[in-house]
Amino acid sequence: MDYAEATLAGFDPAIRFYLLLLEINLEGLTAERFFNLKNTFLEQREQLGRQMQVEVLIYLMNFGNSLTAVNSSLFFRELFELNRLGVDGGLFLDNGIFPDIWFTNIAVCASVCKEWEWTEQFIREQAARLHPKIAAAAVSLANAFLFFYQGRFETAYGLLADIPDTDMGYQLRRQSLSLRCLFEMMLEKPDLLELVEAKTEAFDKFLRRQKVFSRERISAELHFARIMRKMVRAGDSFARWQLILEETQATSPLVSKNWLLEKQDILLKKTARQ
């Protein structure tokens, strides 16, 4: 590997990236290897063709997303910086179209990082580049995530209700985020408990009928629904919250794990004071 790097990397900058990617593939992803790839990309990006820039950026995004499980705050920030670089460089555009999956994921990442002004500007400016058939749903979902992370749960929930059921991917994300919105609203309005419980049960049934998504994706969402159901039923029992927290920490794959742990920690401390 070292010999190949020393001998070949000088001929074409792309070879250096292929060797770095090969190292990750053979020896595993680590934070050090991620930053090595990222820093090399930032240093040599202008020497690469556009397609190679896109490919390396996508690898970095996928690697960074995996590493959020190791250090969520650090790697969400890294993802945001990569997102911003890609947006500024037009690297996400495909024949002038901004793919809606990247559009919503970028809005989510920036919202998690509390980059409110940047997120609002991004949604506003890039919405015109979305495919017309999916633009309205993509903008509504992106804004719903922005409002959710701003703590505007009722506004987010209202936007989600307007997203049509025609696209299964949007339906899945809509229902998952709707549950989080409702749970946050329930903390202020306990009379919503039965609605949240009913929506959680409906989401579980929806997931079990799906054949479109990967087994891992469905598993992660089913784990989320199961833990949400327990949280809704936990009440003021310190012992129940402790068990739910421990179960959540040990569960993988799991959607919205950081949010679940944050809510559980708050409610565990609240019940401990009672």
Long-range contact pairs involving 24-33 (C-beta distance under 8 Å, separation at least 24): 24/63, 29/63, 29/66, 29/67, 31/67, 31/70, 31/71
Cα–Cα dist 105/126, whole Å:
13
pTM listed for this prediction: 0.90
- pLDDT of 11 reads 57
Residue 160: C-alpha distances to residues 63, 107, 176, 177, 178 (Å) = 29, 15, 10, 8, 7
The DSSP secondary-structure symbol of 190 reads: G
Report phi then psi at 35, rounded to 5.
Answer: -70, -30
- pLDDT tens-digit profile, the chain (274 residues): 554 455 555 557 788 888 899 999 999 999 999 999 999 999 999 999 999 999 999 999 999 998 987 788 889 999 999 999 999 999 999 999 999 999 999 999 999 999 999 999 999 999 999 999 999 999 999 999 999 999 999 999 999 998 988 788 899 999 999 999 999 999 999 999 999 999 999 999 999 998 888 999 999 999 999 999 999 999 999 999 999 999 999 999 999 999 999 999 999 999 988 7
Locus of tokens 């049934």 = 205
- pLDDT of 186 reads 96
DSSP calls for 63-113: HHHHHTTT-HHHHHHHHHHHHHHHHHTTTT-BTTB--HHHHHHHHHHHHHT
- pLDDT of 3 reads 47
